[in-house]
Every structure is written in structure tokens, then in C-alpha cells.
Amino acid sequence: MSDSSINLDELRQRIDQLDGDILRLISERADCAQKVAHVKLADDKDAVFYRPEREAQVLRRIMSLNKGPLDSEEMARLFREIMSACLALEQPIKVAYLGPEGTFTQQAALKHFGESAISLPMAAIDEVFREVEAGAVNYGVVPVENSTEGVVNHTLDTFMDSSIHICGEVVLRIHHHLLISDTTRRDKISRIYSHPQSFGQCRKWLDAHYPHAERVPVSSNAEAAKLVKTEWHSAAIAGDMAAKLYGLERIADKIEDRPDNSTRFLIIGNQRVPMAGEDKTSIVVAMRNQPGALHDLLEPFHRHKIDLTRIETRPSRTGVWNYVFFIDFKGHVDEPRVAAVLEEVKLRASELRVLGSYPQGVL
Ligand SMILES: C=C(O[C@@H]1C=C(C(=O)O)C=C[C@H]1O)C(=O)O
């Protein structure tokens, strides 16, 4: 036996030993999480097991303790799955997302809740809201903005008619591929299906490579992938999940125009989330239609040194909502300086609603 084979045997023995230790520790952890669930139930029979703020703290702590060689995001992803499995022991979490299966929104849902969550596809954003409001699912996941294409107006508009809370956010790097099926004639592609947002994110690439192909907008990338299965002259632009789900081949990889292309999704629910430490708050504010309204609205944030991360204007749909602004900022409503700003804004606005305070996306 050579030296290297002795080493290999020793190393494998060591790995077996470590796996045994990891197994024992994960089981012990799962036991603890189950006990936490029983404590929660003893306090309140309608207790919510899932705690977004606690999960964010667990993941942030793991990332800060990690010394490598695995990188911190990778390590946090492993812990994300351990927590997801622990939680599912008590009650698997049910999550509605903007479907069909294979969309980036499903990918975002699984990234946030882990693979042990039960994810249920909905046909439209309003349906995701309705399922959550009705209590048919625990949470919903909807897209809200893309770094290339901007805001998803429909999501913002739906918030205006809903009493739902934002419980979290998740940001996903979006990679698009050009996909074909085994019946597609790759030299005869005359039609490309995709979601309008994805066409927007791949515009330059399409102009350069398929300037004459007809671009047909459909309701989702997964729908585009499905259509390609039945047409020999068509291709689709979609992500990995849809490609795998429908067994399509990637003929061009990562065709998005900007390499940092990412989409932010919101987690919606019926729960108010306590402070996690690094939080964000989203509000919707209506101002009266008068000169200086936007300045009046933003001035208190500036004075209290609150960091705005986003502001969007949407047309009003009622007399009261003259100008409607969606504002995201760093901080939690339970912090005194945030409470002070909101008090001031309330005096200046014709309507103010806090959509939620939630942990900033960790993964
Ligand atoms: C164990 C708890 O409940 C759930 C499981 C968690 C975990 O596995 O660490 C964390 C938060 C909750 O979603 C808890 O609240 O501490």
C-alpha cells in the first residue's frame, strides 16, 4: 500500500467519524427546536412557529462565526436547510408564490424558506395575496423590483387594497438562458417566448443574436419553457429551474445584459415581525396634491438621519390617494427614532400605512 492510500483510508475514517458527530448534533438541534415549538404552543395554542427575526439572527451569527474554508454564504445555506427541516418536524410551512412551477419566484421562496417548505404555485399576484389573507397558506412570495427593469407595479398596486404585512425580503441573482427542446431545429428559431421583464433584461443580447426572431411575451418564464416543448421553431428565455422542470437544453448561458441582474422578492404574511437587529421598514404614504409635497414627506427622514433605500410613486386610484409613495428605509418601527419620523409623516400625509418591518435579506 502506498503512503497516499494509507492517508486516504485515514482521512475517510476521520470523515466517517465527523459525519457521525454532525448527525448527532443535528438531531440534538432538531430536538431543541421541537422543544421550542412545545413551549410556544404552551404559551398560545395559535402560536406561530416560524420566526423570521430569529432565523435572520441565526444565519447572521453563523456567517460571522464562519472561518472557512467554505464561504459564509454557502455555510448559511446549509444552516438554512437545517432550520427548514427542523421547522418542518413541527409543521411544514406552506408558501404561495407567483407560479407556475419553475419560476424565479419559486426559487426565491425555496431560498428563503428552505427545501422543506411546501410551495404552492398561484396564477397571479393577487391570488398570492388572497391565499395569505384567507389563511390558506402561512406566507406568500411576490417579486417587487428588478435591478435592470425596475419595479413590479402590480405588486405595489395590490398592497394598496390589502391589509397584509411584509415579513421579509429575499434577493435572487437572476440568470437567463436560451432554451430549446429536443424537437427544436436550432438553425430555424423564428420565435422566442418569455416574460416581458426577461425580454427587458436580455434586450441587447437578443438584438445582437436573434434580431429577426419574433419575441412573444407570456405570463411567466416557466410558461415560455412549457410552450417550447410543442414547437420545433421556438426557443424560450428562462432560468435553471424551468429548464430542469421541462427538460430543455441550454444553447446560450447567462444571456442577461447586466451581470449583476437581480430581483428582490417580498415575503408577505399576517404576522408583525419583532426587531432582528438589521431591519427594513416599508410604508405607503398618500400626500395631498400641493407644491412641495414630496419635500415635506422626505424632510423628516433626512433630519432623523434615516437611510432611505427606495422610493416609488404610483398613480392614485381614489380621491384620497392623490400622490402615493412607496418608501423603504433602514430601521424598525419599534425603534424610537423611526416611531418619531412616522409620527411626523402622519401629520403631513393624508394617509400613512406601515406595510411592515422585517429583517434585511441575509442570503
Ligand atoms: C426554534 C425556533 O423556531 C423556529 C426554528 C428556528 C431554528 O431552527 O433555529 C428558528 C426560528 C423559528 O423559525 C425558535 O423560535 O427559536
pLDDT value for 276: 95
Which of these, 269, 263, 293, 275, lies nearest to 355 by C-alpha position? 269
pLDDT value for 5: 63
CATH 1.10.287.3510 for domain 177-252: no
CA of 89 to the centre of ligand 1 (A): 11
Q: What is the CATH number of domain 93-171+262-268?
A: 3.40.190.10
pLDDT value for 319: 60
Residue that has been written with the C-alpha cell 413541527 in this structure: 90
Q: Are strands 139-146 and 262-269 parallel, antiparallel or unpaired?
A: antiparallel
Give me the mean pLDDT over the 29-34 stretch. Answer: 95
DSSP annotation string for 79-135 = HHHHHHHHHHHH---EEEEESSTT-HHHHHHHHHH-TTSEEEEESSHHHHHHHHHTT
**Residue 24: alpha-carbon gap to chain centroid:** 32
Nearest-atom index, ligand 1, CA of 32: 1
ipTM score: 0.96
Which of these, 323, 317, 342, 345, lies nearest to 332 by C-alpha position? 342
pLDDT value for 318: 67
Spell out which residues line ligand 1, taking CB within 6 angstroms.
33, 36, 49-51, 54-55, 58, 83, 86-87
What are the grid coordinates assigned to 345, written together? 409623516
Q: What is the CA radius of gyration of the chain?
A: 24
Least confident stretch, 46-55, 202-211, 353-362: 46-55
pLDDT band at 19 (very low <50, low <70, confident <90, very high): very high
Question: What are the residue ranges spanned by the domains of the chain?
Answer: 3-89, 93-171+262-268, 177-252, 272-359
CA of 87 to the centre of ligand 1 (A): 7
The CA distances from residue 94 to 52, 77, 102, in Å, are: 14, 20, 17
pLDDT value for 278: 96
Nearest-atom index, ligand 1, CA of 29: 8
> Using CA positions, which residue lies closest to atom 9 of ligand 1?
83
CATH 3.30.450.20 for domain 272-359: no
Tens-place pLDDT, residues 223-249: 999 999 889 999 999 999 999 999 999
**DSSP-based three-state secondary structure for 311:** strand
DSSP annotation string for 315-361 = E-SSSS-SEEEEEEEES-TTSHHHHHHHHHHHHH-SEEEEEEEEEPP
Cis preceding-peptide flag for 69 (omega within 30 of 0): yes
Nearest-atom index, ligand 1, CA of 54: 11
pLDDT band at 290 (very low <50, low <70, confident <90, very high): confident
What are the grid coordinates assigned to 321, written together? 390617494
Tell me: pLDDT of 321 over 60: no
What are the grid coordinates assigned to 104, written together? 424565479
Tell me: pLDDT of 1 over 90: no
3-89: CATH topology is: Chorismate Mutase Domain, subunit A (1.20.59)
Q: CATH topology of 93-171+262-268 equal to that of 272-359?
A: no
Which of 34, 78, 86 best tests ligand 1's pocket when mutated (most atoms within 8 Å of CB)? 86
> Using CA positions, which residue lies closest to atom 10 of ligand 1?
55
Say if CB 197 and CB 146 are below 8 A apart: yes
Distance separating alpha carbons of residues 226 and 242, to the nearest angstrom: 8
CA of 117 to the centre of ligand 1 (A): 14
Tell me: pLDDT of 178 over 90: yes
Nearest-atom index, ligand 1, CA of 86: 8
> Using CA positions, which residue lies closest to atom 15 of ligand 1?
51
pLDDT value for 320: 52
> Using CA positions, which residue lies closest to atom 13 of ligand 1?
50
pLDDT value for 131: 97
Which of these, 247, 262, 69, 244, lies nearest to 175 by C-alpha position? 262
pLDDT value for 157: 87
Give me the mean pLDDT over the 122-151 stretch. Answer: 92
CA of 318 to the centre of ligand 1 (A): 42
User: What mean pLDDT value characterizes the chain?
Assistant: 92
Give me the mean pLDDT over the 40-61 stretch. Answer: 91
Which of 43, 55, 167 best tests ligand 1's pocket when mutated (most atoms within 8 Å of CB)? 55
Tell me: pLDDT of 3 over 70: no
pLDDT value for 213: 96
Say if CB 128 and CB 98 are below 8 A apart: yes
Which of these, 95, 90, 96, 102, lies nearest to 117 by C-alpha position? 95
343 half-sphere exposure, CB direction, 13 A CA radius: 8
What is the reported pTM? Answer: 0.91
Which of 27, 28, 36 best tests ligand 1's pocket when mutated (most atoms within 8 Å of CB)? 36
Which of 87, 90, 91 best tests ligand 1's pocket when mutated (most atoms within 8 Å of CB)? 87
Give me the mean pLDDT over the 313-327 stretch. Answer: 76
Residue that has been written with the C-alpha cell 427594513 in this structure: 280
Distance separating alpha carbons of residues 287 and 266, to the nearest angstrom: 25
DSSP annotation string for 4-38 = HHHHHHHHHHHHHHHHHHHHHHHHHHHHHHHHHHH
Distance separating alpha carbons of residues 356 and 139, to the nearest angstrom: 14
Which of these, 133, 154, 159, lies nearest to 143 by C-alpha position? 154
